[in-house]
Amino acid sequence: MKYPKPYKKGELIGICTPSSGVTGPFENKLAYGIQQMAALGYPSKETSLVRKQHKAASGPAEIRALEFMELYTDPAVKAIIPPWGGELLIDILPYLDFEVLNTLPPKWIMGFSDTSTLLFVMTLKLNMATAHGPNFMDFSNTAVHESVFRALDILGTEPGESFEQHSLTHYQKEWLAVTETEFPPYNLTEKVEWKALGGSKEANFGGRLIGGCLDVLCKLIGTPYAPVEAYLEQFEEEGIIWYLESCEMKASDIYRTLWQMKQCGWFKNCRGVLYGRVEGYEDTQDLTYVDALQAAFGALSIPVLYDADIGHMPPQLTFINGAQAKVYYTEGKAKILQFFV
């Protein structure tokens, strides 16, 4: 596994929009975040489509791909953090030059939601680590949560070293309104409690990490952009930890998607699953998402932790695709170690 050069404070962050652009009051929020981060010692550079939006994307797929390639090939840019995800990142994949990308030193790319499409593909096709963590808009709140800045520290981890994270204490269920002049922090009203499928009080497991947003990763099944089988074979002895979350799926959607992934062999040699808090969710009749997880994973006899700090109900932990991980869970709380080996 190839790890990018550690990111250091003061180095340039590239901002592009491989999926959706930023408009309306959120454009002001982004501008505030760029200014705030620069004042803290984190300069950035944005591409031309960042503040545009048309037909559910920041621009034509070819141009979105080109702007990403421009940042990735720019030696002055040390990390790429899109402002947020969106809907149609998949359209840029045919326009990315993976042969060129494979000749370049790996560079940190971080984000979640639709950005996890790009992270997943880059890790699988280029054997390079990518970071599932905050988007740049998370750095644009008037008070930035400690887990968000922690993500930048994690990007500074040296190859061969490790870092440790713990489950968080409170999370946000409802977003506070963003206006032209107000960019509120996370609304941390709910107590965090990780849970284990089947009610286990304790679980410990390890393996190589891979995952992202279930809504978008499932669209890669059967395409040349998801060579999952090769990744599973590469780390056959260690096994795999899948981390997943969803944002617009009801219980039956979650189950059908996990069923499809399982039929395609994606959970072969899986040592454990982490599933984030579900947003935009509803039960399907009397089927809950816990039922969906049980139906999908129950026969595999592996630990499954859910309501984890991953995804669209912040704050969240940072997970490195390609890193080796060890998970220790005890009665609602968890510790995760990640190793850059």
Q: Could you confirm whether 166 is annotated as catalytic?
A: no
Vertex 178 angle, CA 130 and 289, to 5°: 55
Q: Compute the distance between CA of residue 120 and CA of residue 209 in angstroms, rounded to an integer.
A: 11
Nearest Cα neighbor of 207 from 244, 237, 163, 166 is 237
Q: Among 44, 113, 140, 246, which one carries the catalytic annotation?
A: 113
Q: Is 246 a catalytic residue?
A: no
Burial 315-336 (b: 16+ CB within 10 A, else e): bbbbbbbbbbbbbebeeeebeb
CA distances from residue 293 to 287, 289, 305, 307, 331 in whole angstroms, order as listed: 11, 6, 10, 12, 19
Distance from the first to the final alpha carbon of the chain: 7
Rg (CA), the chain: 19
Active-site residue identified among 58, 140, 245, 246: 245
Q: Which long-range contacts (CB under 8 A, 24 or more apart) does 158-163 make?
A: 158/6, 158/340, 159/3, 159/340, 159/341, 160/340, 160/341, 161/339, 161/340, 162/337, 162/338, 162/339, 162/340, 163/337, 163/338
Distances, alpha carbon 115 to alpha carbons 24, 206, 235, in Å = 21, 25, 24
Q: Which residues of 242-255 are buried (b: 16+ CB within 10 A; e: fewer)?
A: bbbbbbebbbbbbb
Q: Is 245 among the residues known to form the active site?
A: yes
Torsion of CA 9, 339, 131, 75, to 10 degrees: 50
- Residues annotated as catalytic are 113, 245, 312
